[in-house]
Amino acid sequence: MRMQAAIMFEQGKPRPYARSHALEIEEVNLEGPGPGEILIEVAAAGLCHSDLSAIEGIRPRPLPVVIGHEGAGIVREVGEGVTDLGPGDHVITVFVASCGVCRNCVRGRPNICNAGNAARAAGTLLSGAKRISRLNGEKVNHGSGLSLFAQYAVVGRRSAVRIDRSIPLEDAAIFGCAVMTGAGAVLNTARMQAGDTIAVVGLGGVGMNALFAAVAGGAERIIAVDANPEKLGLARQWGATDTFLATEPDCAEQVRAATDGGVDTVIETAGNIRAMELAYAITARGGSVVSAGLPAQGATFSYMHAGLVSDEKSILGSYMGSCIAERDIPRFLGLYRRGKLPVGSLKSGFLPLSEINAGFDRLAEGNVLRQVLRPNG
């Protein structure tokens, strides 16, 4: 079938992207689903900072590629062997394809599946196939096994979780990355308990979902830190008990003074080393830093190792919120339905495929939370 897709041919193009056309809208061919795959009509896809990092060239990708890794859609066709999904089912996509049999999958850690990681690096589906091609026959790589900045997508069966049709797909899309990553970092990786004190450094879509999860999980004190005063205002509305401006030169000292020496659990979601340094600096003795933000490849974070030992601090990575998608998406949707994860309030507007570059300009400016792409109008 033919469809419209946003293709990235080159990384690191200058801003504004609306002028440099970081993503080119083209008509392409999409093959039908192979064994163990499904074809979905993409109803909604979020514009995420991870996509922006790929556009900026911070995180290399095989080119050309259709990116887009956070979304929801409607199943239109299933491949051989897929018996538990059918046309008309609504699904949330999962940006880590998991094989179910590697050492990490069998340990209950499909978010760091070895086969899925290899497929992502190669720009293929888990099967090794590439289902997208330009009209001249050139193959186009898949981004995260999904390629959601297009009207349709062929994905592996394990890259989709069925949801109830009553859930608005524009909200459901945000669960595919921002909710799993942010809420999962708090509830899975950090294993926050009711009554804990927690800080969130970086208040984008992921950080706000970490904040929501901290509120839903019963944290007694929630410290929000960001460079944008408007986001701090939103954080207060959504449950933060304390807010601090990251650009203040003594921000770390302010937080430590307000928390009697620091915070027990700090969630870093900004994806840069300065934010990680701040997160570590405000962590109390015996506390832990959970980093869910992805910086540039090759970026390094340093600390005084003697202090790590004597203060018994912990540094943990959190990829996709340490989620098992089939377990956690229904759990998070339950919180959403009870008003505990108000992800709909994060939407900063909708845009068609033709305006995707302008959308990434707005995201790069730092003044939006989650813009939602509607590839089919």
Per-residue pLDDT reduced to its tens digit, 131-185: 999 999 999 999 999 999 999 999 999 999 999 999 999 999 999 999 999 999 9
Picking from 131, 133, 147, 17, the residue whose alpha carbon sits closest to that of residue 69 is 147
Q: Tell me what the mean pLDDT of segment 51-67 comes to.
A: 95
SS3 235: helix
So what's the pLDDT on residue 85?
97
Evaluate whether 2-176+342-374 and 182-318 have a shared fold: no
So what's the pLDDT on residue 372?
97
Q: What is the percent of the chain with per-residue pLDDT over 70, rounded to a whole number?
A: 100
Q: What is the pLDDT of residues 218-237, one digit of tens each?
A: 999 999 999 999 999 999 99
Fold of 182-318: Rossmann fold (3.40.50)
Task: List the single range of 34-38, 282-286, 363-367 with lowest mean pLDDT.
Answer: 363-367
Output the pTM of the full model. 0.96
Report residue 350 CA to chain centroid gap.
18
Contact at 8 Å (CB) between 377 and 41?
Answer: no
* Res. 68 pLDDT band, cuts 50 70 90: very high
d(CA 254, CA 35): 56
Q: What is the pLDDT of residues 333-363, one digit of tens each?
A: 999 999 999 999 999 999 999 999 999 999 9
Which residue type occupies 258? A
d(CA 235, CA 200): 10
Given CA atoms 367, 120, 94, 107 in this order, what sign does their dihedral have? negative
* Res. 254 pLDDT band, cuts 50 70 90: very high
Dihedral pair phi/psi, residue 232, rounded to 5°: -65, -35
Contact at 8 Å (CB) between 234 and 211?
Answer: no
Mean pLDDT, all residues of the chain: 96
The CATH class of 2-176+342-374 is: alpha beta
Given CA atoms 162, 165, 169, 175 in this order, what sign does their dihedral have? negative
Dihedral pair phi/psi, residue 60, rounded to 5°: -60, 145
- With a CB cutoff of 8 Å and minimum separation 6, the contacts of 74 are 40, 41, 43, 88, 89, 90, 91, 169
Question: Angle 230-232-238 (CA atoms, 0-180°, nearest 5)?
Answer: 110
Domain boundaries, the chain: 2-176+342-374, 182-318
Asked whether the predicted pLDDT for residue 297 surpasses 90, the reply is: no
What are the Cα distances from residue 106, in Å, to 100, 190, 239, 259, 316?
A: 6, 22, 37, 40, 21
- Mark residue 88 as left, alpha or beta (left: phi above 0; alpha: psi -120 to 50; beta: remaining): left
Asked whether the predicted pLDDT for residue 116 surpasses 90, the reply is: yes
So what's the pLDDT on residue 367?
83
- With a CB cutoff of 8 Å and minimum separation 6, the contacts of 101 are none
* Res. 296 pLDDT band, cuts 50 70 90: confident
So what's the pLDDT on residue 377?
80
So what's the pLDDT on residue 90?
98
